[in-house]
A and B are shown apart, each in its own frame.
Chain A
Amino acid sequence: MALFRRKAASAQPSDTPAAVKELRRPHMRRVVAYYVRKTLTLFSWIFYPVGVIWLLLLPRDEFHHKASVDENALLPGQTTKYFSSMDMYAVNSYRLRVNQLASQTRSPAEYAAFIQSELNGFGMEASIQNFVLATNQGATIGANSYGISRAARGDGTEAIVISSPWMDDGGKVNADGVGYVLAFAKFVTKFSHWSKDFIFLVTHPSPMGTRAWLEAYHGEQPGPNDALQYDPLETHSGAIQEALNLEFGGEGDYAAIEILVDGLNGQLPNADLVTTVVNCAQYEGIPVALHQAVTPEKFDSNWTRYLHKADILAEYMKSQALGLPRSDHALYAKYHIESITLRAIKDIPGAQYRVSGEQIGRAIESALRSFNNLLERLHHAYWFYIMPTAASYIPISVYIPPVILLSVTLVFQSLVMWWMSGEPGQTAPARSQRIKDSPYVARSPQLSSFNTRTRPIFLPIVTMFLCHATGAFALYMSPTILYIAQHGDINPLNMAACVLIVTAVIYGFMIPTLQRLMEGSGASTATTAPAWMVVKCIACAELGAALIALSTLNPSLSIALAIPSVPAFLLAKPTGSHNSFAIQLIALFLASPIGILGAISLLTGLGTAQDLVRRSADGWSLYGAWLFPFVLLVYWPLNLVGHVIVGMEQ
């Protein structure tokens, strides 16, 4: 038993008066708050470089997990494969017929009719869905054809989609992909071991066709004013569980298969689906590429290993950050369907041998057998990961800290601004002292409740509102502006200059004028805090919250926006020095959408930047990609707010 020491009660009477004792507690509280505030004010920026360094470490192998299958039912590559040279013969003959048909006609209806008659010939319920897309460029007529192979012994409640676009990414006829779809349609009818229905789908043009088909499959009907009008489907199968999209735009001579995983808005399929497809392909000896790069087994040095993985990671994050559909698989995620695109690559550096068509066929068959085994939806593995190679991944637990660290700086900055605007304590609170030869105690001035300043709220709210209204108006006008830019053949540099001048007028003249008309200058007085601090407080809070919320939905976009905007926001404040004013403006400009586009065009050419704007605007209007509205409604208005802060009174 432990012994307990207790000091004998002290008989010494204290000469501290009760008032001093009473003031100790608030004093301590103030002191702690003061030092916390001081530390945060001085050092909150440290999170940003830590986050950046952590991100730079991500390509290192220590952070990568080897991809393994979590769902026991999948058993990738464990089945006997039956895809034989006879089936490969079917692929080849269909490829020839598809090429022949494509050279004869350009009508989507005829393509669809061909697919439908072939699928009907296998005893499937095949039909055609027509759709029309009205855009500024005119109406595009398209047709999807699909057939449902009912699983002999299944009850038709679950289905797997095998799809292929008629045209591949580069605008070439996807003859081999369609050939595989048709050959598999024939192949699956030979076996009774399937427990899920198969839906064979050929879309044209794509990915718009996939959107029309998926919406119709889920019972949606286009509104009378919608740009995309489509027919309802004649037949349905059950709930689609997985989708495999094939893009083989060649003649059967490939060096590797590339997997495309990220979908619309950077949504990812379950990691088990990716791992299964990759494992099945690797069991067949097919090199699997990610972003057109096959990771070799060995590297010359650690540095080349790092560079290789960093390169793939950068490509991966770029693609995820944009969140635009890269192929048909991208649109399935919205419906909780796990999907992936397999795209054949003709040449990769260092490829030792060619992949045979049968290998590809057996890999696909093997993956289908694995999906067929599933008794439930894929739910064991992650939906959040970043892939440095096709066979490994960085789980959310490893990549989320740097993403959060980057943006959390803004949250602290917001807190600092709130404190600074209210209680501008420059020194640590002094202890209350007894006034000599009197029973009274002098309270130190830092403990007084009378020295807090009033924070102006109306002016910051007006500023925030005006900037966001500008963004919303830009979003509203964007189709018109893009139409004018395309049809008026306006030089993109003129366009960018125009946007710059308009925004400069807005933040440099109109908003300050309105501010002064409504609220006065916002300069600080003895009793009121300067308005810019509260503006910055609200803006930092909003941007930080937006970026942190984004970090789970689309971490790559969060990173891509946090890296330029966080330093710009940390720096932004009214200043008398010309140098720091210039530095602040440059940082804010680089973080603005125009600045980012400018950087992209300096690095990769003007065409890329132009293309990016067009694709993201189309991605929003055609597929509902968030990038465009997010930038115009949240990111760009806050950047305007940053510019306003720089120009405000101290």
Chain B
Amino acid sequence: MVFSQGHWWWASLLCLVWLGQAQAGVAITDESYNEDLRFTQLPDGKVLSEFKFIRRIGPLALAKVRDNHYSLLPRSVGEIVQTFGVEELHLTFTQGTWNHQKWGYSPLGAAAGVQLWSWFNTSSVDKQWKGLTHALAGLFCASLNQIDQSNTAQPLLSFLPEGDYGEELPQDVLELRYGSLPHEAVCTENLTPWTKLLPCQTQAGIASLFNAYRLFDGHYHSMGTHIRPIITDDAGRGMEFVQTLSVVLNPLRLDNRKDWSLSSLFERKIASACALASDTKVVVTVPSHPASTLNSPPLSVLTDSHERLSAHYNLDLSTPKDTDFGVTWEDSKVDHGVNRSRWYIDAHRYQTGYGGERGGLAVDLRNHHPTADLDIIYFEAIPWYLKLYLHTLRAETAADASHEIIKDMYYQPAIDRGRPAVLEMKMTLPANSTTTLHLEFDKAYIKYTEHPPDANRGFDIGAAVITFTAIPESPPSPHDIPPQVRIHTETVLVSLPTPDFSMPYNVITLTCTLMALYFGSVFNMLTRQYQPVIVKG
């Protein structure tokens, strides 16, 4: 990595200043830990809480990690990264569906179930990927080890590296693997090992709000673990380890009121700031109409261009213990409408057809922008047991037929029990229109041992991923959505032809009976001695 002399100088100066301010008890290294908590009340009254735990590990600390000396970075994570040559890792556990029509785009919006994608800087990637999924399965008590080759994909365009790689082009030297488990149930079993990675666990800091009863009672719950390389100073490449948790709770359902506070949402309050965190921020964002009152006085209040108020707080060790953030409304009306003025693209996928032989998928891709055609990248990995027919792929649009919608396409056919079919497309959605993609498939007749224990439920087909660049807002504010946005479609449940599983049992019992009778009589015949009886006389 090449850096100019000027950078060096500034960095060392900053470093000195920071060292001077360092509090007692925090080790003097190039590591830092921040906590960030945002509450956003959505127009329909639901409260989105986004917890972020950011650890930045500088090159010095990373060098120590290589010698098995850990401080802020959890050893279990560090070992996984080192052993499997992971450069970048994104793992999310999600329950519920992010409603991007009503809630907008969120960087923490993820596909239902478990989603894992990772960039590797190693040679034998498939082996390392297998090792990584098994190690993460153990770390987070999840069935991640079920991500095998048959549901691993290598997207080309949708999951670009998000880290800071300097000037080298990471795609040339790194390799990507993507896997998902759409039907993985997420529960406290996964939350507990995840919170154990936090420096203060749930004893202090914003994580003290984690009340599993409430976290898992929301409309959406997503727990993320993200690792990416960063460049902190010229001494080399560092690492950022971010844990995120977003949860959508509905005060209307909990209390039948639009007003909320920490104690009403979580039945907890923030005990105190985490002593290891250098900075703990809390931001409460609410619509500026109707009028509302903040429960505790903020440091500052900002109004953004979307008629939202953001109240900023800073927590430190001197903050009183029972600070209860929250909002009280003068008018309790909620707005269930859909706001199309900021979020132009939405996607909706559903199953078509019926019967056990064949089926299809349809995806409605809508561009609500009144004038601009928007470019997106569509990615879908379909398991091998749905035999896709690429010739049935068609894009229908109500807009002018002269538009070419599919600009470029990458398709990898499936191999039975080997790999999924991967479809990745660059598309242009005409302004103010709905484009519908249709795709048809045959349902494979799979072996009876390949059915899951709940065979009559069906198979979950993981979400399709739509990646696009959000239209930059003016003026771009620092906390706004990042330029690259990913939205996920619904999971689809496909039922394959299912045998009657009581039948093998019947066959086995019947066969055993016949065998017993047959064997018994044949054995009898074979071993019995026959002697003629001569009747005299």
> A150-B99, A153-B96, A155-B96 given as contacts; is B354 within 8 A of A218 (CB)?
yes
Q: What is the CB-to-nearest-CB distance from B72 to chain A, in angstroms, rounded to a whole number?
A: 34
Q: A155 contacts which of B97, B99, B458, B498 (Cβ < 8 Å)?
A: B97
Q: Does B10 contact A (CB under 8 A)?
A: no
In angstroms, Cα B221 to Cα A152, docked, is 10
- The reply to whether B491 and A155 form a contact with Cβ atoms under 8 Å apart is yes
Q: B336 contacts which of A1, A120, A190, A191 (Cβ < 8 Å)?
A: A120
- The reply to whether A219 and B360 form a contact with Cβ atoms under 8 Å apart is yes
- The reply to whether A156 and B531 form a contact with Cβ atoms under 8 Å apart is no
Q: Does A4 contact B (CB under 8 A)?
A: yes
In angstroms, Cα B532 to Cα A3, docked, is 7
Residues of A contacting B498 with CB < 8 Å?
Answer: 379
Q: Does B112 contact A (CB under 8 A)?
A: yes
Chain B window 337-355, contacts with chain A (Cβ cutoff 8 Å), 1 for yes, 0 for no: 0000000000010111111
- The reply to whether B350 and A236 form a contact with Cβ atoms under 8 Å apart is yes
Q: A6 contacts which of B348, B455, B456, B532 (Cβ < 8 Å)?
A: B532
Q: Does B454 contact A (CB under 8 A)?
A: yes
Q: Which of B491-537 contact A (CB under 8 A)?
A: 491-495, 498, 528-533, 535
Q: Which of B199-242 contact A (CB under 8 A)?
A: 216-219
- The reply to whether A238 and B97 form a contact with Cβ atoms under 8 Å apart is no
In angstroms, Cα B182 to Cα A189, docked, is 25
- The reply to whether B495 and A1 form a contact with Cβ atoms under 8 Å apart is no
In angstroms, Cα B6 to Cα A549, docked, is 89
In angstroms, Cα B364 to Cα A235, docked, is 9
Q: Which of A206-249 contact B (CB under 8 A)?
A: 218-220, 232, 235-236, 238-239
Q: Which of A161-194 contact B (CB under 8 A)?
A: 189-192
In angstroms, Cα B354 to Cα A293, docked, is 36
Residues of A contacting B491 with CB < 8 Å?
Answer: 155-157, 238
- The reply to whether A236 and B113 form a contact with Cβ atoms under 8 Å apart is no
- The reply to whether A153 and B492 form a contact with Cβ atoms under 8 Å apart is no
In angstroms, Cα B531 to Cα A4, docked, is 7
- The reply to whether B533 and A377 form a contact with Cβ atoms under 8 Å apart is no
Q: Does B490 contact A (CB under 8 A)?
A: yes
- The reply to whether A336 and B354 form a contact with Cβ atoms under 8 Å apart is yes
- The reply to whether A219 and B362 form a contact with Cβ atoms under 8 Å apart is yes
- The reply to whether B457 and A123 form a contact with Cβ atoms under 8 Å apart is no
Q: Does B44 contact A (CB under 8 A)?
A: yes
Residues of B contacting A335 with CB < 8 Å?
Answer: 354
In angstroms, Cα B348 to Cα A155, docked, is 14
- The reply to whether A375 and B457 form a contact with Cβ atoms under 8 Å apart is yes
- The reply to whether B533 and A5 form a contact with Cβ atoms under 8 Å apart is yes
Of A189, A190, A219, most buried by chain B (CB within 10 Å of CB) is A219
> A375-B454, A376-B455, A377-B456 given as contacts; is B218 within 8 A of A152 (CB)?
yes
> A218-B352, A336-B354, A379-B456 given as contacts; is B112 within 8 A of A155 (CB)?
yes
Q: A157 contacts which of B99, B352, B354, B492 (Cβ < 8 Å)?
A: B492
Q: Which of B380-412 contact A (CB under 8 A)?
A: none
Residues of A contacting B99 with CB < 8 Å?
Answer: 150
- The reply to whether A376 and B360 form a contact with Cβ atoms under 8 Å apart is no
Q: Does B79 contact A (CB under 8 A)?
A: no
- The reply to whether B528 and A1 form a contact with Cβ atoms under 8 Å apart is yes
Chain A window 2-19, contacts with chain B (Cβ cutoff 8 Å), 1 for yes, 0 for no: 111110000000000000
- The reply to whether B532 and A4 form a contact with Cβ atoms under 8 Å apart is yes
Q: Does A154 contact B (CB under 8 A)?
A: yes
Q: Does B253 contact A (CB under 8 A)?
A: yes
> A6-B532, A238-B490 given as contacts; is B97 within 8 A of A377 (CB)?
no
In angstroms, Cα B490 to Cα A6, docked, is 80
Q: Does A272 contact B (CB under 8 A)?
A: no
In angstroms, Cα B161 to Cα A30, docked, is 86
Q: Does B152 contact A (CB under 8 A)?
A: no
Q: Does B279 contact A (CB under 8 A)?
A: no
In angstroms, Cα B96 to Cα A158, docked, is 13
Q: What is the CB-to-nearest-CB distance from B489 to chain A, in angstroms, rounded to a whole number?
A: 10
Q: What is the CB-to-nearest-CB distance from A338 to chain B, in angstroms, rounded to a whole number?
A: 12
Q: Does B95 contact A (CB under 8 A)?
A: yes
Closest to B337 in A: A120
Q: A5 contacts which of B96, B348, B535 (Cβ < 8 Å)?
A: B535
- The reply to whether A239 and B495 form a contact with Cβ atoms under 8 Å apart is yes
In angstroms, Cα B335 to Cα A121, docked, is 8
Residues of A contacting B535 with CB < 8 Å?
Answer: 5
Q: Does B30 contact A (CB under 8 A)?
A: no
In angstroms, Cα B183 to Cα A154, docked, is 10
Closest to A159 in B: B493
Q: Does B316 contact A (CB under 8 A)?
A: no
Q: Does A65 contact B (CB under 8 A)?
A: no
Q: Does B460 contact A (CB under 8 A)?
A: yes
Q: What is the CB-to-nearest-CB distance from A526 to chain B, in angstroms, rounded to a whole number?
A: 52
Closest to A157 in B: B493
- The reply to whether B457 and A377 form a contact with Cβ atoms under 8 Å apart is yes
In angstroms, Cα B517 to Cα A631, docked, is 49
Q: Does A66 contact B (CB under 8 A)?
A: no
In angstroms, Cα B76 to Cα A84, docked, is 52
In angstroms, Cα B212 to Cα A541, docked, is 68
Chain B window 250-263, contacts with chain A (Cβ cutoff 8 Å), 1 for yes, 0 for no: 10010000000000
- The reply to whether A156 and B490 form a contact with Cβ atoms under 8 Å apart is yes
- The reply to whether A376 and B493 form a contact with Cβ atoms under 8 Å apart is no
- The reply to whether B44 and A376 form a contact with Cβ atoms under 8 Å apart is no
Residues of B contacting A218 with CB < 8 Å?
Answer: 351-354
Closest to A120 in B: B336
Q: B529 contacts which of A1, A120, A236 (Cβ < 8 Å)?
A: A1
Chain A window 265-298, contacts with chain B (Cβ cutoff 8 Å), 1 for yes, 0 for no: 0000000000000000000000000000000000
In angstroms, Cα B220 to Cα A155, docked, is 10
Closest to A374 in B: B457
- The reply to whether A190 and B253 form a contact with Cβ atoms under 8 Å apart is yes
Residues of B contacting A121 with CB < 8 Å?
Answer: 336
Q: Does A334 contact B (CB under 8 A)?
A: yes
Residues of B contacting A154 with CB < 8 Å?
Answer: 96
Closest to A232 in B: B436
Q: B353 contacts which of A120, A124, A157, A219 (Cβ < 8 Å)?
A: A219
Residues of B contacting A375 with CB < 8 Å?
Answer: 454, 457
Closest to A218 in B: B354
- The reply to whether A4 and B533 form a contact with Cβ atoms under 8 Å apart is yes
Closest to B338 in A: A125
In angstroms, Cα B457 to Cα A438, docked, is 81
- The reply to whether A158 and B493 form a contact with Cβ atoms under 8 Å apart is yes
Residues of B contacting A156 with CB < 8 Å?
Answer: 97, 112, 490-491
Q: What is the CB-to-nearest-CB distance from A560 to chain B, in angstroms, rounded to a whole number?
A: 28
In angstroms, Cα B443 to Cα A336, docked, is 16
Residues of B contacting A157 with CB < 8 Å?
Answer: 458, 460, 490-493
Closest to B101 in A: A125
In angstroms, Cα B348 to Cα A336, docked, is 23
Residues of A contacting B494 with CB < 8 Å?
Answer: 239
> A123-B44, A219-B360 given as contacts; is B354 within 8 A of A153 (CB)?
no
In angstroms, Cα B533 to Cα A5, docked, is 6
In angstroms, Cα B454 to Cα A379, docked, is 11
In angstroms, Cα B529 to Cα A2, docked, is 9
Of B97, B101, B112, most buried by chain A (CB within 10 Å of CB) is B97
Closest to A193 in B: B217
Which of B's residues lie within 8 Å of A, judged by CB? 44, 95-97, 99, 101, 112-113, 182-183, 216-219, 250, 253, 334, 336, 348, 350-355, 360, 362, 436, 438, 454-458, 460, 490-495, 498, 528-533, 535
Q: Which 3 A-B pairs have the closest CB atoms?
A: A219-B352, A157-B493, A236-B350
Which of A's residues lie within 8 Å of B, judged by CB? 1-6, 120-125, 150, 152-158, 189-192, 218-220, 232, 235-236, 238-239, 334-336, 375-377, 379
Beyond A153-B218, A155-B112, A156-B490, 11 additional pairs, beta carbon < 8 A: A1-B531, A122-B336, A155-B97, A156-B97, A158-B493, A219-B360, A238-B493, A239-B458, A239-B494, A377-B456, A377-B495
Pull 23 A–B residue pairs with CB atoms less than 8 Å apart, ordered by A: A1-B531, A3-B533, A4-B532, A5-B533, A5-B535, A123-B44, A123-B334, A153-B216, A155-B95, A155-B490, A156-B490, A156-B491, A157-B460, A157-B493, A192-B253, A218-B352, A219-B350, A219-B438, A220-B352, A235-B348, A236-B348, A238-B351, A238-B493
